[in-house]
Amino acid sequence: MDIDLAQVALFNSTGGGLLQADPRDLGTIGGLRFPFVSDGSMSNHTAGNTSGSMPRAVDFMFNGPLAFGVGDEISFYVTIDADNPADPISPPYHPGETKHIVINRATVDAVLPSANGVISTYKEYAAVLSRGLSGSGATAMTYFTYDPPGSKNKVDVPDQIGIAYLGNSSLDGSSLQITGVTSTVGSGGLANSAIEYGPRRSSMTLNFEPFRVYEEVVVNFSFRVGRESSVSYSFDKDYVNSLLGVDDGLIATSDDMATLLNSLIARPDIIIEATGGNAISVRTDPSIDRKSGQKSGIGFWGINVNIEPIPKLNFLEIDIEQNPQKVAEYIRYIDVVSAKITSGAAMLGALQQRIDMQSEFADRLMSSISKGVGRLVDADLDESSTRLKALQAQEQLAMQSLQIANANAEIVMQLFS
């Protein structure tokens, strides 16, 4: 039986014992992930992951009431998802989608049937605006806060209304603007606004650190752009050696890491390059990807190493008195090594059981062989005894014949005369 002592030794002179730091630690995997400061563990996604956000809402303060009669109306235009010329995309720039919104007596009566055409509060005005904005890619909302801060007690923010962005998923841009506001009853505080853009975030930077991929270690990760589904990739020592022309699984430079990621992801809309020092830029090509705002984003997710979790400390280096800030890290270390010691003990128990089974089998085999040999010996003795008796009978007959011959020699001689 083969026994891997690395799985049961608590301490090794060369390191790697169950209570020692595992030398196969991949660290940040070249910048794909980052350590949590609190306990030293590694996140399953990188700190550089980015995701764009929606444009800010257009806010105003309600100054009603507003009384609608027959023929009264509030009219304005809502434009959403225009391209942002400040983004790194080339013209032409899409102007977005514009909808003409009309709030009249019929709209008010549909939302407030018993109000006789009068909008008295900011919450009523927000409800009427939401009805008018339906299908435009925007809606109206009111606000609340928590009092005291950090509690679960919600308190309304009086009179504040926001025209909030919903968007059009078929366009690349992300923007919101209110224009052309006119009214026969007063606007209730609604006015023309500057255009609000959702920021484009389709790039990230990895802080590269050299690392080595050891035998039987497999790294898995997923890569995602914008709202696409994640795509999974993996690599091991053989892949690294074949790609970089090395034999030790070492990714030594940021250029090596960029080469590795490019070989795996291999997308024409993704640019991955070392940009100097230990920085690696990962970004979408703006000539292909024109999405902005919440539609944009890029990142690595679901990072997994098949041998983890592994101990990253040495037991003899633990010092809570000198390093009280590392208590969480020490606890995590104890959890990891405890699991490994339990696994090692289970392996020893399994080996002991196998040894006991083999020993019992050997004992039974020896006993069976002894009985078989005994039976064979008994059979041989019976045969020898029978032969001995036959020979003894022949000897007795021969002796008797000689005695007869000696006693009557003359009679025997007459037989030959």
Does residue 309 have a cis bond before it (omega within 30 degrees)?
Answer: yes
Q: In what order do the strands lie in the sheet with 203-207?
A: 203-207, 279-284, 270-276
Domain ranges in the chain? 23-51+202-309, 58-197
Predicted pLDDT of residue 152: 86
Q: What is the DSSP string of 270-324?
A: EEEEEEETTEEEEEE-TTT----GGG-EEEEEEEEETT-S---S-GGG--TTT-G
For residues 41 and 229, what is the distance between their CA atoms, to the nearest angstrom? 27
Element spanning 333, H or E:
helix 327-407
For residues 193 and 185, what is the distance between their CA atoms, to the nearest angstrom? 20
Q: How many CA atoms lie within 13 A of 269 on its CB side?
A: 13
**Which amino acid type is present at position 140?**
A
Pair of tokens at residue 291:
């999405």
Tokens 């032969």, located at residue: 387
Does residue 410 sit in helix, strand or coil?
Answer: helix
Which pLDDT tens digits describe the chain residue by residue (417 residues)? 777 676 677 777 766 676 667 778 888 999 998 876 555 567 777 778 899 999 999 999 999 899 999 999 999 999 999 999 999 999 999 999 999 999 999 999 999 999 999 999 999 999 999 999 999 999 999 999 998 888 889 999 999 999 999 999 899 999 999 999 999 999 999 999 999 999 999 999 999 999 999 999 999 999 999 989 999 999 999 999 999 999 999 999 999 999 999 999 999 999 999 998 899 999 999 999 999 999 999 999 999 999 888 777 777 777 877 777 777 767 777 776 777 777 777 777 777 788 888 888 888 888 888 777 766 666 666 677 778 787 888 888 777 777 776 776 666 566 555
Residues 6+ apart with CB under 8 A from 91: 85
- The reported pTM is 0.71
Does residue 236 sit in helix, strand or coil?
Answer: strand
